[in-house]
Structure 1
Amino acid sequence: MYKLVRALFVSFLWLIIFMIGLTAKSQNNIPRPEHPKPQFMRDSWINLNGQWNFAFDFGQSGIEKGWFSDPSEFDMKISVPFCPESSLSGIGHTDFVPAVWYHRQIDIPESWRDKRVILHFGAVDYDCRAWINGTPVGRHYGGSVSFSFDITEALQEGVNDLVVCALDDIRSGIQPGGKQSIAYDPAKAGMLTRYTRTTGIWQTVWLEARPESYIESVNIVPDLDNSCFTITPVIENYRNGMDFNVVLLSDEGEEIVSKKQYATQNSPVILELANPEVWCPDNPYLYGLQFELLDGNKEVDVVKSYAGLRKFHIEGNKFFLNNEPIFLRFVLDQGYYPDGILTAPTDQALKKDIVLALEAGFNGARLHDKIFEERFHYWADKLGYLTWGEYIDYGESFDWSKTQVFLNQQREWRESIMRDRNHPSIVAWTPFNETIRGARYNLETHRRAIIETYDLTRNLDPTRPINDASGYVHVKTDIFSIHDYDQNVESWKDKYQSINPNNQEKAFIRYPEISIPYNGEPYVVDEYGGTFWTRDYANKEQQGDSRTQWGYGKTEKQVKDLIKALTSVLLNNPNIAGYCFTQLYDVEAEVNGIYSYQREPKFNIEQIKEIFAAPAAIEE
């Protein structure tokens, strides 16, 4: 009898272990399972990535058909958070889609019954609506920023139906879309620097439990000179008598200092540091932070975060990091992936792109025509990688026959700054890119739009310099940036050897008739190179076929020699503050990367690093 009981117990124990293993395996199989907001985390959250029911809505008749309350016609499956154009989604449909629908069931934990339940979206392109059990819970415009809906009042006991619809019309002229192509096949259409589109959900979807009163957001401002952090909270459903407590932790989790004060709206908490650790590329030290909302002795809400103590500023024509001059050795990063398009297949893929750039001699990146997801900024913070935050503007934002464009740009740009301004790795903002079309269309409207956006950016974040419009036409700017794909070394030298803040009239400006003059700001060639080379063209005395591929160059040696010659001119000029090389990796038909689209090295990376990491005159 004892042996039988023992055998049954052992069998039961193994069954429990097996079920735990299945659960763990199931969780591990969820795509992108990591927390999407590592700088603002609560313990109570549920990742909703994975298999959802899905339907195309080519006639945009889903609302009329009542799909929000009856998703029975959703006849496909999709793997969220990957867009339907991507192979990782399980669909791979690359033609234009005006509307898409999603459905899945959610079950709210018993422990959340007295909480506010928040539905989060990392990003949905472009016009997103959501329903719970047929009840509308929110709508958001903007294809690249994070947003959330409070779904508490629409929930019912047991299983709930979540339905999401996304409308997307990249060809409308009012919807900023970055590098997404407005042609079905960008290569055949000659649009070689545009890529496959993204429709619908393309970042993590997740649920979060919050108390009735909670910490809505926190602005973290590092002050290196005064050895302190200024922490400013926004409290939702504030009640008189509440306290806001901040705990600063070492990178090993040990408490350094804490400070408590009344949780008055927008009232800053100043944390002074006796022995500050500075964040820099060589030592990206991150302090842990814990924010606590207290009601007497009761802990109402707790949020975990982190911060880096660093200073980035401009003096004259130089950039300074932590009061030391620094040359920006940037590379253009488009944030595209062969299998996920705009969505990285894994969290490690985000980290890998940064590691590849560092290995090639760069100290940062211009995040080009894309608002990168928060996990990328997390890895940049962890690895000491400098970036410019940029909007998804590639010329569309100045179709002034459609005035809604500017409103869309302003709203989404504001949301992106508010989301990302706590990251120490972001050192500047770039709200526009190559605005030559808008300037030529209506110079005065263009001027007003740039000034208003510059002022908005400055009001939201006075701690970082602003590159008003990368590339061609400046109106009001802290940085003077230039795009130049000149492949002639001699004419290149002639243009950039004359850059001097004491002789500003000689500065090279692409369109001087419509741009403000150079006024002694840090001068950055923030797009150059574009050097074409693939193994198919190795040792061939010919350029790439301009009809199907874009870039400059011939043989591998010629390309490396050209990169070195162009880069050396910029490094050796004490009046040039930085460069941004095009680009880190190939993207579809644009084959001018240091790495292939699959992130394989195209050159000897040690030799490439010697070029880009060579000493810069401005740092001496």
Structure 2
Amino acid sequence: MTPSPSIPRPEHPRPQFVRPSWINLNGEWQFEIDHSRSGKERGLHAPGASLGRHILVPFCPESKLSGIGHTDFMAAVWYKRSFAIPADWESGEILLHFGAVDYETEVWVNDVSVGKHRGGYSSFSFPIGHALRDGDNVVTVYAVDDVRSGLQPRGKQSGSYRSQGCDYTRTTGIWQTVWLELVPKTRIASFRLIPDPDNDSLHVSAVVEGRTDGISLRCAASFEGKSVGEQSARVGSRSVSLTLPLSEKHLWHPGAPALYDLRLELVKDGETVDAATSYFGLRSLRLDGMAFRINDRSVFQRLVLDQGFYPDGIYTAPTDEALKRDIELSLAAGFNGARLHEKMFEPRFLYWADRLGYLVWGEHANWGLDITSSVGLARFLPEWLEGVERDYNHPSIVGWCPFNETWDSSKGTRQDNEVLRIVYETTRAFDPTRPVIDTSGNFHVATDIFDVHDYDQNAETFRARYQPLAEGGEPWVSFPDRQSYGGQPYFVSEYGGIWWDPGQANEQGWGYGERPKSVEEFMTRYEGLTNTLLDNPNMFGFCYTQLYDIEQEVNGLYTYDRQPKFDLAWLKAVNGRRAAIED
């Protein structure tokens, strides 16, 4: 299906799992803010009930692009629109997909509740065939959002009325694409792709929904249009696994992202029952002493902090091209990847990272969630695993970092270390192919990599702090009373954050440390800090704060509207210099 160009964000929202029959439901919906959360009692979910305003989905009501622009707290919001099912969709099942809705969601189709979901960042879907009728159908969405409750991950959404510090404008309700998909009764529900370049193969495991008697999974790989492998296996119960040998070996590597196309089919008696297209990258990941090896090469990770905010769309990029452009801006500044910070990014961003050979770390939006007890685990882990499962197949993802800076509560209650330990161990069991950092910066409990955050603005003291590590000694540990180093690979995953607002146009602006008095002073500081990390033979990477300004935080290398503040050739030369740890 080719969506109408008038539909915002018309591209397929899940490019690693594509079936041909789908309908994009973005566009104009009815909308209403429900401050008192009385909408159910008032019957707003009924098909005939009208809502008071209109909104442009998938943009959140806080954003300019939504047409609403309401930035105060909203206890709950309602959405409603009609849709028709094509006549040739009579067979099979119809799924209603949501890329993301913040935070607790209930969905009705024609006054039938078709499902509920908790989590503001992970994707979900409901089968709706039982609720459909001939002609027009009505879908109603109700979302409850309370970033101040301590019971939900809010990320960098401000818990105060105004944006302040490193918290910004909130996102409520729908903020990613809503879409319909026609699927067979017996279908591929999910699949995992595990690249194995050492054995010139791809391992595939799939979960199958529906009747599986006599069903086989057939996988066919191609590279640049040429067939390079095919394999089949019978489905046992609900699952099936196979190894697909590849006749040609093309590695996915940062900056050189070879990608294979993949077709998956369920076959019975020679007939195709279900089919989907995907792609994969052939690459290996390995920690080796202090080095991070990709395809057995020590790769210094020149990362930048990317928080996924947009001036007109807040959490939602205005176009697919804007997602791609952010990666291109980072590459132009000499970075080869990013920490996707305090937010699960949408699959379209990861698609462009895959295609452009860009390294990323997956992270959840844990700020705002109270993790001083097991209640935090119950609110965090299910959504986190939904995100890991959704994004598992992207070759660009080289590690998971569920938490960031797990500070103690405002009352002084310490984090429950078992929450971090359980999330770390569960993530490792869920995905044994990637390293896991329990919490970036602090307070580490169990981790494959030990990282620190360091915003020292003095290049001399900064270098002195990491000299013992460079000489083979013990590295610097922030908060030594709360965490201890256990010999893991080590890197500084936040540094810099140098405050530079050209012309000081933002009177409320801030950054880390004292603002440089000139561009030249900025450049000297940037080079001094960055060279320290590149020169260290026992440091496998860095992450600079940050790629672009966001609202009042003006420590980006680009402005909020993505204009460069500095000479990009200079930045690329500094960041791209060969690191001491690289082969």
- The TM-score, its normalising length taken from structure 2, stands at 0.97
Does residue 124 (structure 1) correspond to residue 101 (structure 2)? The answer is yes
What does 1:215-254 correspond to in 2, within 5 Å? 215-250=188-223, 252-254=224-226
User: Which of 44, 50, 53 is equivalent to 2:21?
Assistant: 44
Does residue 574 (structure 1) correspond to residue 537 (structure 2)? The answer is yes
Does residue 153 (structure 1) correspond to residue 126 (structure 2)? The answer is no
Superimposed CA distance per residue, residues 303-328 of structure 1 (whole angstroms, 9 cap, x where no aligned partner):
10000000111011110010011111
Is the Cα–Cα contact under 8 Å of residues 116 and 152 in structure 1 kept in the other structure?
A: yes
- Count of residue correspondences: 580
Range 252-261 or range 295-304, more displaced: 252-261
The Cα shift of 1:500 comes to: 5.1
> Which residue identity does 2:325 align to in structure 1?
K
Is the Cα–Cα contact under 8 Å of residues 264 and 277 in structure 2 kept in the other structure?
A: yes
Residue equivalent to 2:227: 255
The Cα shift of 1:491 comes to: 1.3
Is the Cα–Cα contact under 8 Å of residues 572 and 617 in structure 1 kept in the other structure?
A: yes
Change (3 A) 1:441 1:492: same
* 3-state SS in 2 of match to 1:375: helix
User: Which of 454, 479, 487 is equivalent to 2:449?
Assistant: 479
Superimposed CA distance per residue, residues 379-435 of structure 1 (whole angstroms, 9 cap, x where no aligned partner):
0000000000001122x333537x533211111111010000100000000011111
Residue equivalent to 1:274: 247
The Cα shift of 1:224 comes to: 1.4
Root mean square deviation, CA, Å: 1.7
The 2-side partners of 1:117 and 1:303 are apart by: 15
* 3-state SS in 1 of match to 2:442: coil
User: Which of 453, 474, 481 is equivalent to 1:513?
Assistant: 481
Range 333-342 or range 609-618, more displaced: 609-618
Residue equivalent to 1:415: 386
The Cα shift of 1:501 comes to: 8.6
The 1-side partners of 2:132 and 2:264 are apart by: 28
Is the Cα–Cα contact under 8 Å of residues 30 and 50 in structure 2 kept in the other structure?
A: no
The 2-side partners of 1:104 and 1:207 are apart by: 13
What does 1:158-177 correspond to in 2, within 5 Å? 158-177=135-154
Does residue 550 (structure 1) correspond to residue 522 (structure 2)? The answer is no
The 1-side partners of 2:420 and 2:540 are apart by: 23
The Cα shift of 1:610 comes to: 1.1
The 1-side partners of 2:293 and 2:471 are apart by: 17
Change (3 A) 1:568 1:79: same
Residue equivalent to 1:426: 397
The 2-side partners of 1:181 and 1:298 are apart by: 53
What does 1:491-510 correspond to in 2, within 5 Å? 491-499=461-469, 502-504=472-474, 507-510=475-478
What does 1:297-336 correspond to in 2, within 5 Å? 297-336=270-309
* 3-state SS in 1 of match to 2:142: strand
The 2-side partners of 1:37 and 1:398 are apart by: 31
Does residue 594 (structure 1) correspond to residue 562 (structure 2)? The answer is no
The 2-side partners of 1:578 and 1:218 are apart by: 31
Does residue 32 (structure 1) correspond to residue 9 (structure 2)? The answer is yes
Does residue 366 (structure 1) correspond to residue 333 (structure 2)? The answer is no
Residue equivalent to 1:211: 184
Is the Cα–Cα contact under 8 Å of residues 439 and 446 in structure 1 kept in the other structure?
A: no
The Cα shift of 1:249 comes to: 1.2
When Rg is computed on C-alpha atoms for both structures, the one with the higher figure is 1
More helix by share: 1
The 2-side partners of 1:70 and 1:209 are apart by: 23
> Which residue identity does 1:530 align to in structure 2?
G
User: Which of 162, 173, 182 is equivalent to 1:200?
Assistant: 173
Residue equivalent to 1:346: 319
The Cα shift of 1:439 comes to: 12
Superimposed CA distance per residue, residues 54-104 of structure 1 (whole angstroms, 9 cap, x where no aligned partner):
111111100011111145341211000000000000110000001110110
Is the Cα–Cα contact under 8 Å of residues 573 and 618 in structure 1 kept in the other structure?
A: yes
Is the Cα–Cα contact under 8 Å of residues 125 and 143 in structure 1 kept in the other structure?
A: yes
The 1-side partners of 2:274 and 2:352 are apart by: 26
> Which residue identity does 2:54 align to in structure 1?
K
Residue equivalent to 1:16: none
The 2-side partners of 1:439 and 1:70 are apart by: 44
Is the Cα–Cα contact under 8 Å of residues 243 and 296 in structure 1 kept in the other structure?
A: no
The 2-side partners of 1:133 and 1:107 are apart by: 12
User: Which of 243, 247, 257 is equivalent to 1:284?
Assistant: 257
> Which residue identity does 1:421 align to in structure 2?
Y
User: Which of 549, 553, 563 is equivalent to 2:526?
Assistant: 563
Change (3 A) 1:91 1:269: same
> Which residue identity does 2:227 align to in structure 1?
E
The Cα shift of 1:274 comes to: 2.7
Change (3 A) 1:208 1:254: same
Residue equivalent to 1:450: 420
Is the Cα–Cα contact under 8 Å of residues 255 and 336 in structure 2 kept in the other structure?
A: no
The 1-side partners of 2:471 and 2:168 are apart by: 38
The 1-side partners of 2:55 and 2:558 are apart by: 30
Change (3 A) 1:474 1:398: same
- Which consecutive residues of structure 1, in runs of 5 or more, have no partner in the other structure? 1-22, 539-543
User: Which of 414, 417, 434 is equivalent to 1:464?
Assistant: 434
* 3-state SS in 2 of match to 1:617: coil
- Which consecutive residues of structure 2, in runs of 5 or more, have no partner in the other structure? none
Is the Cα–Cα contact under 8 Å of residues 455 and 512 in structure 2 kept in the other structure?
A: no
The Cα shift of 1:497 comes to: 1.2
Is the Cα–Cα contact under 8 Å of residues 371 and 377 in structure 2 kept in the other structure?
A: no
Does residue 98 (structure 1) correspond to residue 70 (structure 2)? The answer is no
Change (3 A) 1:537 1:159: closer
> Which residue identity does 1:256 align to in structure 2?
V
Is the Cα–Cα contact under 8 Å of residues 119 and 151 in structure 1 kept in the other structure?
A: yes
The Cα shift of 1:275 comes to: 2.4
> Which residue identity does 1:171 align to in structure 2?
R
Is the Cα–Cα contact under 8 Å of residues 529 and 566 in structure 1 kept in the other structure?
A: yes
Is the Cα–Cα contact under 8 Å of residues 47 and 138 in structure 2 kept in the other structure?
A: no
Residue equivalent to 1:377: 350
Change (3 A) 1:177 1:374: same
The Cα shift of 1:595 comes to: 0.4
Does residue 397 (structure 1) correspond to residue 364 (structure 2)? The answer is no
Change (3 A) 1:574 1:222: same
Change (3 A) 1:314 1:512: same
Is the Cα–Cα contact under 8 Å of residues 439 and 447 in structure 1 kept in the other structure?
A: no
Residue equivalent to 2:569: 606
Superimposed CA distance per residue, residues 267-296 of structure 1 (whole angstroms, 9 cap, x where no aligned partner):
311011232111012320110000001111
> Which residue identity does 1:416 align to in structure 2?
G
The Cα shift of 1:173 comes to: 0.8
The 2-side partners of 1:548 and 1:275 are apart by: 53
Is the Cα–Cα contact under 8 Å of residues 229 and 247 in structure 2 kept in the other structure?
A: no
The 2-side partners of 1:510 and 1:398 are apart by: 22
Is the Cα–Cα contact under 8 Å of residues 472 and 538 in structure 2 kept in the other structure?
A: no
User: Which of 81, 93, 97 is equivalent to 2:58?
Assistant: 81
Residue equivalent to 1:3: none
